[in-house]
Amino acid sequence: MQMLTFKPGMTSREVDKFIENKNPEELCYGKSGDQHILYVRPGKDGREAFEKMEISLNAVGKGAVARFRRMVANELINNVLKEIEGASAAAPALTANPSARHLAQFRSLHKALQEGGHLKQKGLFRVAGERTALASIYDAKTKVFQFEGVDLNTLSSHTLATLLKNMVRDFPRGVFGNQAGKIKECLKEIASSPPDQRAAKLAELGKLLARLPEENRQFFGECCALMQAVAAQSASNQMTLENLAAMFEQNLFSNLDVSDEDTNTSVRDANQILAPKLNAQQWGLVDYLNSLASGA
């Protein structure tokens, strides 16, 4: 009998190996005490042996159970995992609100970047992170982040920054959700409006942001705080607010298709030869960030 017991630290590869080539409809469920058991129905040859997974409510492998739940499209099993979720404080990865989990993970990364003294790192958010470290945390195919057992304080500046950028891009259903199109247009209007009309446009943006779900609104606030903190150290890291806006804008609007207009860039100050070329919504984002700094 082959057994797979969920335990802290279990990797997604172990779960993948167990459910490989298995039909979700053949998986059965049983319960004994505090043990939830998922097993494969015996084959046509009548063999009594079967594989089973025991999921202890007191020792749930967060990443592994979450991985299994994503890969098995079976209503009964999903209901079982929901029951485990409700009963086990040890399984926050199974939260019913992926946006809230994403926000919490982003905050942890932001804190590690700031408190770890990484903000002055030259080329922060421009240089890619370490491939091995990234691969152990981020699954590019499923766009899932697994931080269980990872000491964020051991990650390099560029790895933390790369993870933060990826989290902005992969926020569930986009940071701005169904308001993305309107917010994008509003940022363009902010950038193109005369200085005496900019406050009114910024107020319009504030109203659009207020319509976002709480987690989305807080996440965007964290993104803004992150960009401002990094830009404050631009003398060392060489990442200005304009540089950061150019990098983050596309990830913030990852749920929208890129239009031809988005590729049109301009330099506001012709006297600054090295000034970055930004598109309209990127300049609008810069104006918004500056308004936050000034309290306007």
Give pLDDT tens digits for 147-195.
877 889 899 999 999 999 999 999 988 999 999 999 999 999 999 999 8
Q: Quote the pLDDT of residue 3.
A: 40
Give pLDDT tens digits for 202-258.
999 999 999 999 999 999 999 999 999 999 999 999 999 999 999 999 999 988 876
CA nearest to 163, candidates 184, 186, 179, 139: 139
Backbone phi, psi, residue 160, to 5°: -60, -45
Computed over every residue of the chain, the mean pLDDT equals 74
pLDDT at residue 285 greater than cutoff 90: yes
Higher pLDDT, 282 or 75: 282
**247 contacts 215 by C-beta, under 8 angstroms:** no
Give pLDDT tens digits for 35-47.
445 555 544 433 3
3-state secondary structure (DSSP) of residue 54: strand
Helix (H) or strand (E) holding 201: helix 195-210
Q: Quote the pLDDT of residue 87.
A: 39
| Class of residue 264 by CB neighbours under 10 A (exposed 0-12, middle 13-18, buried 19+) | exposed
CA atoms within 13 A on the CB side of 280: 17
pLDDT band at 99 (very low <50, low <70, confident <90, very high): confident
Helix (H) or strand (E) holding 139: strand 138-139
Q: Quote the pLDDT of residue 107.
A: 93
| Class of residue 275 by CB neighbours under 10 A (exposed 0-12, middle 13-18, buried 19+) | middle
**Nearest-5° angle of CA 107, CA 11, CA 174?**
40
Tokens of 224: 């803004």
User: Sign of dihedral through CA atoms 107, 108, 111, 112?
Assistant: negative
Q: Domain coordinates of the chain in residue numbers?
A: 3-94, 177-294
Q: Quote the pLDDT of residue 182.
A: 95
Cα distance from N-terminal residue to C-terminal residue, the chain: 67
Lowest mean pLDDT among 7-16, 226-235, 274-283: 7-16
Q: Quote the pLDDT of residue 166.
A: 94
Q: Quote the pLDDT of residue 270.
A: 43
CA atoms within 13 A on the CB side of 62: 17
pLDDT at residue 281 greater than cutoff 60: yes
Question: Who's near 194: CB < 8 A, 6+ residues apart?
Answer: none
Backbone phi, psi, residue 293, to 5°: -65, -35
DSSP letter assigned to residue 22: -
pLDDT at residue 59 greater than cutoff 90: no
pLDDT band at 58 (very low <50, low <70, confident <90, very high): very low
User: Sign of dihedral through CA atoms 122, 123, 124, 129?
Assistant: negative
Cα distances (angstroms) measured from residue 237 to each of 69, 127, 157, 232, 290: 41, 11, 11, 9, 19
Give pLDDT tens digits for 264-275.
555 445 444 445
